[in-house]
């Protein structure tokens, strides 16, 4: 299993330098800085020195950033001060001191905004979004991405916009919102390609390949991996090159297995990992190689490779890596009939996953334990872990469904926002065209500067009036929509009360009729006729159809959403779900449907099961979230 490692790809170009090759350059810069007069050029030199030190000597990098701030204050150079604080923020991020990093970034933002430096502002905003992403604060990360997008207004900001899109691509990929991730990845790729930024394009291709891999689109994933690799090789970007070869190895290991291609790419990944001396990459490359051997049923070779990977993971004390390797080792031992070793590996992995709260790993451990106990003919424990596996699997499936609903909501909101922006841009374009025509007319007929100024004033006034008029019209339309919704809400409430009252009346009337059963025989015929009519009236769906129409208007096509996400849901179950969404009590629902309360409780239980909800999940709360 390959972790989703994309976040390092969204950093700006300073990460692309190969520091070991820049020693002479650093010495030269230090010599210039120490022997020349201190001015704004000195700030630029400190910035470069900071950049070269960031990955080699974090304390030295912090010194250079602090010196930038102090010197910029002395020179009264706001831009330098802001960049210095930004560099301090990035330095703290490098050592995961995110709280201090946020404070430095905010100082930089305040300076850039005060002195109207939007280009620097947006770079800092992107880096703040990046930090929130590192901390898995996805909503905050997206919030700052949107903020950066709003600041970007000029054509020269295109590459920065590409950085925003690739960051959104990585965030949505990490959240499992694959369609959204792909959308922003493709947007970023288009920008980098148009701007002839081959490194940005290659990194975006890598991210897009990860998305296609997650979606199971093998052909598309291969295509994008192969587009990225030559650029990484050319520019000596080894870390991402290793990940790309790992990705190809994983894809070729999948059914149908392409042994030679998988081995070539995994061997390359392993070779480059050793060249870099990166323990994490060596361990993950070995693990993927072991997976290939396991798929090829070369179990002894797979076991040796996994054990080699586990030794490295133990040295790093990486719980995340260890649980993956232990689960894989457990499968190998099971295939070799080493049940005790398989059991020990699975239990160790389960404890790690529970400690680290890795739900996918817990689910895999339960499945492994079920298979082990089944092979050992231990029916009691096999059933125990099968039940646990089903529960966790259902929980993960429910999360996936919730993610899908969230993704659809985000897509809807994004598309609506984009449509509004496009409309505003079109209006501005139209007004600009009119302004040009008016300007030309002014040039032909104006009698002098006074008339030109007057005409310009009229244009500005006309533009402001147009904006004001549009705002008034929009507010009027929004008020109309609001009134319509309020009206429909009232109608819906009225219909609900009507249904409850109608069925309450019918039940009371039927009870009264039951009381006259013992009357003379002349009443029997009339009694039967009235009961049949009342039952027929009570079974009518006309009121339900009226109710459903108003309900759909107020609750955004609730029934259609249920059918989309749960194709097997029946009309009766949709009706029950609608009543629960209206917060009707069990007794009110029973009266409305002319059934016993116990029957409603059973129906609610069956509906909850069909929707894949856990026992502790609230059915009404879930329906209100749709």
Q: Using DSSP, state whether 470 is helix, strand or coil.
A: helix
Residue 333, pLDDT score: 96
**pLDDT above 70 covers what percent of the chain?**
69
> pLDDT for 73-127, tens place per residue?
999 999 999 999 999 999 998 887 889 999 999 999 999 999 999 889 988 999 9
Would you say 363 and 393 are in contact if contact means Cβ atoms under 8 Å apart? yes
Would you say 494 and 551 are in contact if contact means Cβ atoms under 8 Å apart? no
> pLDDT for 418-439, tens place per residue?
555 555 555 555 656 655 555 5
pTM score > 0.75 for this model? Answer: no
Average pLDDT over residues 347-366: 91
Comparison of pLDDT for 526 and 169, the residue scoring more: 169
Residue 359, pLDDT score: 85
Residue 572, pLDDT score: 85
Comparison of pLDDT for 223 and 466, the residue scoring more: 223
240 token code pair = 């991402």
Residue 394, pLDDT score: 79
Render 378-446 in DSSP notation, one character per residue.
Answer: -HHHHHHHHHHHHHHHHHHHHHHHHHHHHHHHHHHHHHHHHHHHHHHHHHHHHHHHHHHHHHHHHHHH-
Position 150 pLDDT exceeds 60: yes
The segment with the largest mean pLDDT, out of 150-159, 478-487, 605-614, is 605-614
Residues whose CB falls within 8 Å of the CB of residue 303, separated by 6 or more in sequence, listed in order: 290, 329, 332, 333, 336
pLDDT bin (cut points 50, 70, 90) of residue 371 is very high
As a whole number of Å, the CA-based R_g of the chain is: 33
Distances (CA, A) of 107 to 69, 102, 126, 160, 510: 11, 9, 15, 21, 75
Residue with structure tokens 């190809």?
A: 248
């Amino acid at each position: 299993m390959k972790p989703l490692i994309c976040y390092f790809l969204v950093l700006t170009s300073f990460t692309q330098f190969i520091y070991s090759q820049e020693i002479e350059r650093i010495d030269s810069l230090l010599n210039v800085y120490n022997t020349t007069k201190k001015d704004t050029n000195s700030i630029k030199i400190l910035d470069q020195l900071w950049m070269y030190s960031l990955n080699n000597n974090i304390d030295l990098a912090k010194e250079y950033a602090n010196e930038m701030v102090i010197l910029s204050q002395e020179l009264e150079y706001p831009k330098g001060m802001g960049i210095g604080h930004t560099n301090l923020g990035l330095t703290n991020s490098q050592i995961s001191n995110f709280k201090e990093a946020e404070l430095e970034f905010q100082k930089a933002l305040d300076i850039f905004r005060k002195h109207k430096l939007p280009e620097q502002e947006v770079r800092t905003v992107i880096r703040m979004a990046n930090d929130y992403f590192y901390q898995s604060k996805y909503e905050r990360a997206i919030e700052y991405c949107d903020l950066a997008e709003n600041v970007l207004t000029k054509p020269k900001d295109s590459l920065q916009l590409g950085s925003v899109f690739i960051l959104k691509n990585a965030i949505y990929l990490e959240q499992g919102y694959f369609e959204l991730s792909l959308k922003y990845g493709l947007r970023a790729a288009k920008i980098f390609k148009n701007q002839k930024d081959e490194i940005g394009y290659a990194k975006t291709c890598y991210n897009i390949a990860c998305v296609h891999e997650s979606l199971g689109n093998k052909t598309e994933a291969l295509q994008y991996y192969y587009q990225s690799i030559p650029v990484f090789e050319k520019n000596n970007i080894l870390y991402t090159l290793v990940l790309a070869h790992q990705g190809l190895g994983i894809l070729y290991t999948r059914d149908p297995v392409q042994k030679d291609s998988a081995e070539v790419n995994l061997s390359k990944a392993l070779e480059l990992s050793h060249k870099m001396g990166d323990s994490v990459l060596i361990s993950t490359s070995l693990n993927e190689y072991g997976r290939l051997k396991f798929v090829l049923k070369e179990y002894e070779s797979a076991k040796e490779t996994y054990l080699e990977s586990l030794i490295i993971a133990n040295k790093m004390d990486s719980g995340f890596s260890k649980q993956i390797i232990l689960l894989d080792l457990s499968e190998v031992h099971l295939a070799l009939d080493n049940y005790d070793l398989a059991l020990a590996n699975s239990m160790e992995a389960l404890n790690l996953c529970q400690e680290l709260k890795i739900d996918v790993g817990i689910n895999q451990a339960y499945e492994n334990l079920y298979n082990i106990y089944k092979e050992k003919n231990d029916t009691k424990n096999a059933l125990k872990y099968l039940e646990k596996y089903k529960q966790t699997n259902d929980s993960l499936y429910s999360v996936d469904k919730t993610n899908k609903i969230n993704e659809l909501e985000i897509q809807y909101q994004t598309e609506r926002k984009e449509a509004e922006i496009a409309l505003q841009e079109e209006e501005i374009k139209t007004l600009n065209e009119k302004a040009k025509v008016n300007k030309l007319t002014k040039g032909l007929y104006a009698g002098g500067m006074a008339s030109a100024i007057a005409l310009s004033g009229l244009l500005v006034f006309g533009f402001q009036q147009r904006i004001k008029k549009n705002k008034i019209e929009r507010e009027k339309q929004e008020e109309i929509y609001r009134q319509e919704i309020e009206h429909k809400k009232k109608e819906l409430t009225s219909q609900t009360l009507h249904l409850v009252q109608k069925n309450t009346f019918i039940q009371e009337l039927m009870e009264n009729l039951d009381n006259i059963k013992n009357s003379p025989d002349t009443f029997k015929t009339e009694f039967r006729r009235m009961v049949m009519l009342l039952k027929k009236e009570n079974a009518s769906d006309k009121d339900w159809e009226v109710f459903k129409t108003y309900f759909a208007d107020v609750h955004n096509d609730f029934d259609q959403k249920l059918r989309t996400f749960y194709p097997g849901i029946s009309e009766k179950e949709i009706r029950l779900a609608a009543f629960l969404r209206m917060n009707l009590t069990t007794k009110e629902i029973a009266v409305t449907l002319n059934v016993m309360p116990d029957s409603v409780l059973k129906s609610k239980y069956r509906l909850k099961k069909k929707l894949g909800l856990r026992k502790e999940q609230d059915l009404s709360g879930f329906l209100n979230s749709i």
